[in-house]
Amino acid sequence: MRIVLLGAPGSGKGTQGEKIVDSFGVAHISTGDVLRAEVAAGSPLGIQAKQIMDAGGLVPDEIILGIARERIGQLDPAKGFMLDGFPRTLPQAVALDAMLDEVDQPLDCIVLFDVDDKEIMTRLLARKRADDNEDTIRTRLQVYSDQTAPLISYYRDQGKLRVVKGVGDVDEIFETIRGVLEDAI
Residue number with CB closer to ligand B4P (46 or 80): 46
Q: Say whether residue 6 binds ligand B4P (CB under 6 A).
A: no
Q: Check the CA dihedral 92-98-99-101 and report its sign.
A: positive
Q: Which of residues 106-145 bind ligand B4P (CB under 6 A)?
A: 123, 127, 140
Applying CB under 6 A, among 38, 88, 155, 181 the residue interacting with ligand B4P is: 88
Q: Say whether residue 50 binds ligand B4P (CB under 6 A).
A: no
Q: CA 53, CA 131: separation in Å to the nearest integer?
A: 6
Applying CB under 6 A, among 6, 11, 72, 155 the residue interacting with ligand B4P is: 11
Applying CB under 6 A, among 4, 12, 107, 161 the residue interacting with ligand B4P is: 12
Q: Say whether residue 52 binds ligand B4P (CB under 6 A).
A: yes
Strand partners, 111: 5, 162
Question: What is Dmax (Cα atoms) for the chain?
Answer: 43
Kind and range of the H or E run holding 171: helix 170-184
Residue number with CB closer to ligand B4P (59 or 161): 59
Omega before 60 within 30 of 0, i.e. cis: no
User: To 10 degrees, what angle do helices 61-73 and 44-54 make?
Assistant: 120
Residue number with CB closer to ligand B4P (9 or 77): 9
Backbone angles phi, psi at 7, to 5 degrees: 165, 165
**Residues belonging to the active site:** 13, 88, 127, 129, 140
Distance set, CA 51 to CA 2, 40, 68 (Å): 31, 13, 20
Interface contacts to ligand B4P, rule CB under 6 A: 7, 9-15, 31-32, 35, 52-53, 58-59, 64, 85-88, 92, 123, 127, 140, 168, 170, 173
